[in-house]
Amino acid sequence: MGRWEPNARGRLVQAAFALYGERGFEQTKVAEIAERAGLTERTFFRHFADKREVLFAGADALRELLVSTVAKAPVSLAPIDAAAAGLEAAGALIQEGQDLAQQRQAIITASAELQERELIKLASLASALAEALRQRGVNDPAASLTAEAGIAVFKVAFERWVDKPSQRDLPRLIRESLDELKAVTAGR
């Protein structure tokens, strides 16, 4: 792929997010996204299967970063801390695109269909995290529980962050939420 490819993709994402915010997700057509980005519909479909997938385009990269960070974490780390390292890396990646993350959240919150899709993506993130922990030799149910608890920590931290992304640090909120989970499970 040539150098223009990432630019086209980025322009399509920005155009789509802007239109979803202005008109609503349901009311926006692919042709309008392409036009706003100064590209053709054909180019849109070279990058995305449909208009919904524009909103979940980052999910694969996020999952890969999560899994590879867990895999590379020092063997001395306890499973929950290996999971936390992966989730903090994912949080840092999300934070790099904080304006898009905030726009995206507003679009998703406005649509029941998109909220469902978000839940599915989170569930598949939990499955990938559990599998990465099993690869480290963690047995079940510990692997599943650590992964599910890790995603819960991530979700709560993300919700606190996304309201005011420029004023808060997402990886730090993830670490704080994990500390809070440790406190609540210890019965405090």
- Kindly list the residues in this chain that would bind its own copies in the complex (CB under 8 A): 78-81, 115-116, 119-120, 123, 141-142, 144-146, 148-149, 151-153, 155-156, 159-160, 177, 180-188
Helix boundaries (H) for 136-169: 142-162
Q: Tell me which residue of 126, 19, 106, 113 sits closest to 62, measured CA to CA.
A: 126
Minimum Å distance from CB 62 to its own copies? 18
36/121 with CB nearer its own copies: 121
110/152 with CB nearer its own copies: 152
96 φ, ψ to 5°?
-60, -35
Q: How far is CA 8 from the centre of its chain?
A: 21
Rounded CA gap, 175 and 184, in Å? 14
34/88 with CB nearer its own copies: 88
Side-chain half-sphere of 126: how many Cα atoms within 13 Å? Answer: 19
Q: How far is CA 102 from the centre of its chain?
A: 12
* Unique residue bearing structure tokens 């202005």: 22
153/162 with CB nearer its own copies: 153
3/185 with CB nearer its own copies: 185
Minimum Å distance from CB 45 to its own copies? 23
Minimum Å distance from CB 34 to its own copies? 29
Rounded CA gap, 74 and 78, in Å? 9
42/185 with CB nearer its own copies: 185
The three-point CA angle 141-87-81 to 5° equals 60
